[in-house]
Amino acid sequence: MKVELLSHTPNPDKLVAAAAKLCYSAAEIDNILEGLTPDKTESFLTRLVDLGHESPMEHASFTFGIEGVSRALLAQFTRHRIASFSVQSQRYVGMEGFEFVTPPEIAADPTAHKTFLDAMASAQTAYDTLRDSLTARYVAEMVTDGTEEAAAKRTAVKKANEDARFVLPNAATTKIVATMNTRSLLNFFHLRCCRRAQWEINALAWEMLDSLREVAPLLFKLAGPGCIKGRCPEGEMSCRQPYKR
C-alpha cells in the first residue's frame, strides 16, 4: 500500500479557525485572518470540538493518491459518500499480469496461501483467454464492416477489457485519487481507525491520518477511533480493549 498526500488547502488549521472566528465574533472579512496566533487558532478549534460545531471544518480539504489497495477496499472506501474519487479503470487499462493484495492471515498459512495463489493464477488465465478471444472476434467483425485494422484493434481491446474484467477477483489492486474535507475525514477515521474495521481499510485510515497530522496537527489532534475520546461508541460490539495505536 502506498498513500501520499498530494495536495491540501493552505494553512488548514488557520483557515478553519478563521471560519470559526467569523461565527463567534464581530470579525470582518478584511481582517478575519489577523490575530490568529497559534494559541488563538488552537482556542477556536478546541471550541468547535467542544460545541460539536463541525461545519467550519468543511472549508479545508485534502487530496490523497492511493495505490496497491484492493478492489474490496475500494467498495468500502466509496461508501464514504461526501468525497470525490477517481479510480483506475479496468476498461481502459489492461489487466495483463494484474497485481493483487494478499490478506495477512492467508499469507501466514502455507496451505491457504497456495490455494490463494492458484486462484489468482486461474483468474489471470481466464482473463487473458477471454480478452484475446473477444478482441480477435471484435476486430474481425469491425474489419468486415470496413474499419481500418489498427483502429479496429484499439476499439476491440477496450471492448474486450470491459467483459473480461468480470473474472478478476476483489484482491486485484487499483489506484485511487480521493479528496475529502476535514469533517468527512474525521468521520472516516472515527469508523475506520477502530480495531473492528476491516484490516486493509484500517491500515489505509492510519496512513492517511499520520500524513494529515503533519500538515494540520490541530484539526486532527483528536482524530481516530471513537474510543480515543473516552467511552467506546460501539456498544455491545465493542472490542472492550483500551485504546492503543
The C-alpha cell that represents 121 in the structure block: 493464477
| CA–CA dist 220, 60 (Å, integer) | 12
What is the pairing mode between strands 61-70 and 173-181? antiparallel
Contact (CB, 8 A) for 52 and 126: no
Partners of residue 4 on adjacent β-strands: 65
Residue with cell 492503543: 244
Q: How many angstroms separate the first and last alpha carbons of the chain?
A: 19
The residues that are catalytic are 192
Closest to 131 (Cα-Cα) out of 154, 155, 152, 161: 161
Q: DSSP for 72-94?
A: HHHHHHTT--SSEEEE--TTTS-
Residue with cell 471513537: 226
Decide: residue 58, CB within 10 A, 0-12 exposed, 13-18 middle, 19+ buried: middle
Residues 190, 191, 197, 200, CA torsion sign: negative
